[in-house]
Amino acid sequence: MVLKLLLLLLLAGCSGTDREDVVRETRFIMGTFVTFTIVDLPKNKAIAAIAAAEKEMRRIEALFTIDGDKISPVQQFNQLAVGSTILLPAEVSALLQQSLAIEKASHHSFSPLLGGLIQLWGFSKSELPIQPPDGKAIQRQRVAAHTKWIRQNNKGWQRLHHLLQLDFGAIAKGYAIDQGIAALKKHHVQNAILEAGGDLRVLGAKHGKPWRIGIRHPREKGGVLGWVELQGDHSIVTSGDYERFFVWEGQRFHHIFDPETGRPANIAQSATVIAKDATLADAWSTALFVSGERGLKAVEKANLDGMWVDQNGEMHLTEGMRQKFHPKSQH
Ligand code: AMP
Ligand code: MG
């Protein structure tokens, strides 16, 4: 009896999935579940750090949202009369500049100017669309999503086309993760993972060992293609056609667009990029998803590691990624 009780007590001590020195908290931010995992820090300190990171991420959400209760600076730009200029907050302006630089480096695969197109397709609403929009309307939006219709001058950013709309949906989550990580660091967090809907950034290690991160299988629910080990300060982000989609006449229509066609990009099932920060990894995983083989070269040129999965489920990796990636079949 005593032995049984002792055993029960022992089991109770190990209950739950985490060790005592792991603090894990989940919040709903930017329309997705955000999980903070902090190891090797006293619980009260970890909780305080998470509160600061959450606050910071909500601040970023308010700057970039296009469907919040309060009008964001991005929405203010989107509502400008053609020819008008707006002074955007420094952070928004900097992320717009960075986004336009990635637009160029990715050969127009990633673009922060697709807001009109995304709204036309209906992917910005919580309810998914049921059928694709009219082809002519797609072409009108596609033409409006060009860098010639936005200009930075000494007074701010000028909007030059009546259909031009900004959308930071492919980069803002990464930026929010980076700001969240900065807040954690300020609170002396050295070992952590900050994950937001498939995008994540790690810090340090897990009890002295590298973090092991699975890369999601685009067609097997809950399955992985393989995994990478990350130690120190790195981010890994995956974009996939399985995140938000509808099926119409037997065809899958998802939320990542090829700016060339104005339609869902159709060469990849998913794309993954590893970078030093989540802003870069987020933007480039979207770019790689759209551009496949050409994107892989651009990813390498930007000194990042990446892989994409084509429509046959075949994986294509940069040299750097080949060294980091452990395919599932070998284990
Ligand atoms: P992600 O899941 O990071 O690949 O981002 C997808 C989101 O970014 C979509 O829901 C759209 O809001 C937006 N988006 C779609 N296609 C693109 C693209 N080619 N470039 C930039 N943003 C895009
Ligand atoms: Mg992205």
- Residue 18 CA to residue 175 CA, distance in Å, equals 28
Proportion of the chain above pLDDT 70, given as a percent: 93
Find all residues with CB under 8 Å of 10, minimum gap 6, and list them: none
Query: Which residues' Cβ are closer than 6 Å to ligand 1?
Result: 110-111, 114, 118, 123, 167, 169-170, 239, 243, 255-257, 259, 282, 286, 290
Three-class DSSP category at 278 = helix
Element (H or E) spanning 66, and its range? Answer: none
Q: What is the pLDDT of residues 191-227, one digit of tens each?
A: 999 999 989 999 999 999 999 999 999 999 999 999 9
Q: Please state the length of the chain.
A: 331
With a cut of 80, say whether residue 17 has pLDDT above it: no
Amino acid code (one letter) for 20: E
Q: With pLDDT > 90 as the criterion, what percentage of the chain qualifies?
A: 87
* Residues 163 and 144 sit within 8 Å (Cβ to Cβ): yes
Ligand that lies nearest to the alpha carbon of residue 278, given by its number in the listed order: 2
Distance of CA 271 to the CA centre of its chain: 11
Give the pLDDT band of residue 18 (cuts 50, 70, 90). Answer: low
What is the C-alpha to C-alpha distance for residues 24 and 154, in angstroms, rounded to an integer? Answer: 45
Instruction: State the pLDDT confidence band at 12, using cuts at 50, 70 and 90.
Output: very low
pLDDT, tens digit (0-9, with 9 covering 90-100), for 161-201: 999 999 999 999 999 999 999 999 999 999 999 999 989 99
Cβ atoms of residues 320 and 305 within 8 Å: yes
pLDDT at residue number 63? 98
Beta bridge partners of 237: 199, 273
Examine the pLDDT at 6 and tell me if it is beyond 90.
no
The whole-number pLDDT of residue 215 equals 97
The 10 Å Cβ neighbour count of residue 147 is 13
| Predicted pLDDT at 19 | 57
Distance CA 230, CA 238 (A): 15
Neighbours of ion ligand 2 (CB under 5 A): 170, 282, 286
Strand bridging mode 251-254 / 85-86: unpaired
Give the tokens for residue 252. 């899958």
From residue 280, alpha-carbon distances to 18, 224, 299 in Å are 31, 23, 10
Atom of ligand 1 nearest to the CA of 110: 20
The DSSP-derived string for 169-225 is TTTHHHHHHHHHHHHHHHTT--SEEEEETTEEEEES-BTTB-EEEEEE-SSSTT-EE
Q: Which residues partner with 327 through β-bridges? A: 226
Q: If you take atom 1 of ligand 1, which residue's CA is the nearest one? A: 170
What's the CA-to-centroid distance between 97 and ligand 2, angstroms?
16
- At residue 295, what is the residue type? G
Confidence category of residue 8, pLDDT binned at 50, 70, 90: very low
123 band by pLDDT with thresholds 50, 70 and 90: confident
Query: Which helix (DSSP H) or strand (DSSP E) does residue 41 occupy?
Result: none
Mean pLDDT of the chain: 93
